[in-house]
Amino acid sequence: MDLFLRLTLAVLIAWLVPARAVGWDAAGHELIATMACDQLNPKALKAVNELAREMQKPEQAYDAVSLACWMDDLRKNTTMPYHGKFLAWHFIDIGIDPGDPPVSFEPGGDNDVQGNVVEALKRAMVVLQGGADPYVKTKAMACAMVMHLVGDIHQPLHCATKYFISGGQLRQDAGGNKEEVLNGPAGDEKFNLHAFWDSAYRASFDEASGDVALDPRFEEQGLHDPQKVRALASALEQEPPALGADLETNFNAWARESNGIARDFVYPGMTATDNKKYCRLSSGYVAKANALARQRLVLAAWRLAALLNHTLGAEVPVKPPPSYPAGPPSQPW
């Protein structure tokens, strides 16, 4: 395939496939990792720190907390190996209405440019447990993926999308990315429902302006600074998951759980406008979303800790499951 055709196809795909936000913002992922690391046993914590040192980005080495941001760093930094890969691994498009298109929960038809968060976590876990996978090349890479994607799968709009008919064709809102929020933060004219949920844990409602406000203390600053989230992590740890909460590793169930939240609250709770492309978020919606998002961060952290303690901190090595097959070849561009 000649260069001109490859570039043409790349542009066409970029136009056809909607841009997707890719998870809790950096501070959100660091919050989950901070709380999870606080609960790791010494063996598991030592293993995570050692694996983190094997992963590098040009500006900064990773540690056990910032490692949770590696998958998002790939998207932003063009000099990193695997830049542009695994974008579809951050989410799964489960519809919210009966009869919506089915989704795959088992690896096989995916590759390093297509797939979903459930398939991705299953692949990464094989490697983290000592097995091999055609796309997850090292145990350190698997650890980085697991630490990030356990967070993503707990963000409701990473496991849900709204399908609709337009122009006689079935379309979708890309997990809320096409639902523009009219009363988003001042100066952000492209703020959408998905972006709101990525940062809902630090969102509030400004009664004076009627707009959503985001706590600026957790804005992305380029380099990861795990200490900036320590105070909030310590506060959130005071309200752990309810006694008896299911901490068993079940990626299918976690995705369905997040999808249920999107179906029952995220979409019906917002105020739609005459043009269905736009919505407004009320003060009550923002307050409930903030509390719910914080609960999801905490639950993700507890589940991540349980998973890592069992996998990396157990005295008896975990027997890896059978390796998953490679999917279809990636496109040459």
* Predicted pLDDT of residue 8: 36
* Predicted pLDDT of residue 4: 38
Least confident span in 176-180, 222-226, 318-322: 222-226
Least confident span in 11-15, 115-119, 309-313: 11-15
* Predicted pLDDT of residue 21: 59
72 CB-near residues (< 8 Å, 6+ apart): 22, 23, 26, 29, 148
Chain segment 90-104, per-residue pLDDT in tens: 999 999 999 999 999
Domain extent listing, the chain: 24-312
* Predicted pLDDT of residue 225: 80
* Phi-psi map region of 327: left, alpha, beta (phi>0 left; psi -120 to 50 alpha): beta
Query: Which among 197, 325, 313 is positioned nearest to 258, based on CA atoms?
Result: 197
Half-sphere exposure of 160 (CA within 13 A, CB side): 25
Q: What's the rounded Cα separation, in Å, for the pair 163 and 132? A: 36
Residue 276 has pLDDT above 80, yes or no: no
24-312 CATH: 1.10.575.10
Could you tell me the pTM of the whole model? Answer: 0.92
Q: What's the rounded Cα separation, in Å, for the pair 155 and 259? A: 9
